[in-house]
Amino acid sequence: MAPASNQLGPNIGVRVAGAPAGSPTPSDFELTELPIPEPADGEVLFRSIYMGIEPSMRRRMPSPVGAPGPLGGQMQVGDLMTAGQIPLGDPLFAGHVGEVIASRHPDFAPGDFVKGGSEWQVYHVAPGRLLRKLNPKAAPLRHEMGVLGQSPFVAYCGLERIGQPKSGETVVVSAAAGAVGSAAGQIAKIAGARVVGIASGDKCRHVVEELGFDACIDRTVGPIVPALDRECPNGIDVYFDNVGGEIQRACFDRLNDFGRLVVCGMVSEYNAPESDHGPPLRPVLRKRLRIEGFVVWDHLDLYPEYRRRMKAWMREGRLKYRDHLVDGLENAPGALIGLLRGENVGKMIVRVSDDPTCLTR
Ligand SMILES: NC(=O)c1ccc[n+]([C@@H]2O[C@H](COP(=O)([O-])OP(=O)(O)OC[C@H]3O[C@@H](n4cnc5c(N)ncnc54)[C@H](OP(=O)(O)O)[C@@H]3O)[C@@H](O)[C@H]2O)c1
């Protein structure tokens, strides 16, 4: 039985209100109150506790000309913003961690914790098969959206399947203080590589002093090319690209023979109408380079080993992790805008409602 909706708080949602030509602004989003959905047979009603924010959410917003741009754009004005995607029905990529309020599925009961849901709203109904049950005694719920969630797994997949860093090699990681980049650099360090990050401002100190990178280039101070020459005197063997654009080109030009360019994301281009044309192919042949893009959900087979290794690395203090918590769904637009401006350190997470597992500790 679902509790009466007047016993629950309001179901707030966030709609797309504009089709931004460049960086989104607060007026491109609109708060709305929605009815609390009723679960049908086989479905579960849950309240979101944490929602992950990712750069790709910007990519899925509508473009001003009404058509998806080269980098996507699937939402329309008036739609609820979406968090996460559940391709092939795997809740690992869902947007929320939440608490079950009512269930009409035999595997779930009120008080269970789940990962699932995609829209930016407080209450969600989902079929049980699209939910992953979580054990808050095994790992804090917040970690399920952060360090044990999608972003560091993206880093793991890109390095395991494409970058394959080796001892003594030089690895460069852009957006190095972010959710994916911070994990990518540390995993490359564990593999024995010399790791150089690229980030903005004070975050560089965090990248070196806390995350243990060998160096970090501040992309906001001076041109990137001489900084790369200074920090990578032996060239670059692996470039883990989170940003595209001119940083990608500068790193590409410095790749050594048999270098690997891991095309993970292009956040510098998500506000732009056109995609960059990318690097020339002649050096790819001459230097026998490997350039490969990947999408994390093609590598789900790696998830069990990733989770096991990540937990061990954290236990051993070899992998440090931070997240960037913003309170209240009404502040989710600001969180996305801030992420695209580089205001975050680690995974950007919105706390949608109180985490009962923290309140009882
Ligand atoms: N391939 C996949 O399956 C997959 C899955 C998920 C995410 N991704 C991609 O992974 C990348 C990182 O995602 P994330 O969630 O971990 O985000 P994030 O790195 O935590 O946040 C984005 C960071 O990008 C940097 N940035 C923003 N604008 C920039 C610009 N114009 N030039 C250079 N850097 C800029 C900022 O860091 P600084 O200001 O410190 O540079 C910002 O903090 C994104 O490109 C995302 O699309 C790929």
Least confident of 74-88, 99-113, 255-269, 304-318: 74-88
Does the pLDDT of residue 114 top 70, yes or no?
A: yes
Per CATH, is 5-146+322-359 categorized as 3.90.180.10? yes
Report yes or no: 319 and 183 within 8 Å, Cβ to Cβ. yes
- Mutational pocket test of ligand 1: of 210, 213, 242, 300, the residue with most ligand atoms within 8 Å of the beta carbon: 242
- Mutational pocket test of ligand 1: of 243, 251, 295, 306, the residue with most ligand atoms within 8 Å of the beta carbon: 243
Strand 255-263 versus strand 290-293 pairing type: parallel
Question: Comparing 5-146+322-359 with 150-299+308-313, is the CATH topology the same?
Answer: no
Q: Is 18 exposed, middle or buried (0-12, 13-18, 19+ CB in 10 A)?
A: middle
Does the pLDDT of residue 276 top 90, yes or no?
A: no
Q: What is the mean pLDDT of residues 325-336?
A: 97
Name the pTM for this structure.
0.94
How many angstroms separate the most distant Cα atoms in the chain?
68
Q: What is the mean pLDDT of residues 117-133?
A: 94
Rg (CA), the chain: 21
Which of 154, 210, 219 is CA-nearest to residue 183? 154
Centroid of ligand 1 to alpha carbon of 307 (angstroms)? 22
Please give the share of the chain, as a percent, with pLDDT higher than 90: 78
Return mean pLDDT, the chain: 92
Which of 211, 204, 93 is CA-nearest to residue 154? 93
Confidence (pLDDT) at 75 = 84
Residues with a CB atom less than 6 Å from ligand 1: 54-56, 151, 154, 175, 177-181, 199-200, 203, 219, 242-243, 247, 264-268, 294-296, 339-340, 342, 344
CA 248 vs. chain centroid, Å, equals: 19
Does the pLDDT of residue 181 top 70, yes or no?
A: yes
pLDDT in tens, 157-178: 999 999 999 999 999 999 999 9
Domain ranges of the chain: 5-146+322-359, 150-299+308-313
Q: Which DSSP string corresponds to 234-292?
A: T-EEEEEESS-HHHHHHHHHTEEEEEEEEE---GGGTTSSS------SHHHHHTT-EEE
Q: How far apart (Å, rounded) are the C-alpha atoms in residues 149 and 297?
A: 12
Q: What is the mean pLDDT of residues 284-294?
A: 98
Q: What is the mean pLDDT of residues 326-342?
A: 97
Q: What atom in ligand 1 is closest to the CA of residue 324?
A: 20
Confidence (pLDDT) at 27 = 97
pLDDT band per the 50, 70, 90 thresholds, residue 84 = low
Which of 316, 310, 175 is CA-nearest to residue 247? 175
pLDDT band per the 50, 70, 90 thresholds, residue 360 = very low
Report yes or no: 108 and 100 within 8 Å, Cβ to Cβ. yes
pLDDT in tens, 21-36: 889 999 999 999 999 9
Does the pLDDT of residue 345 top 60, yes or no?
A: yes
> 1.10.1660.10, 3.40.50.720, 3.90.180.10, 3.40.190.10: which CATH number matches 150-299+308-313?
3.40.50.720
Which of 119, 109, 132, 106 is CA-nearest to residue 42? 106
Q: What is the mean pLDDT of residues 138-144?
A: 92
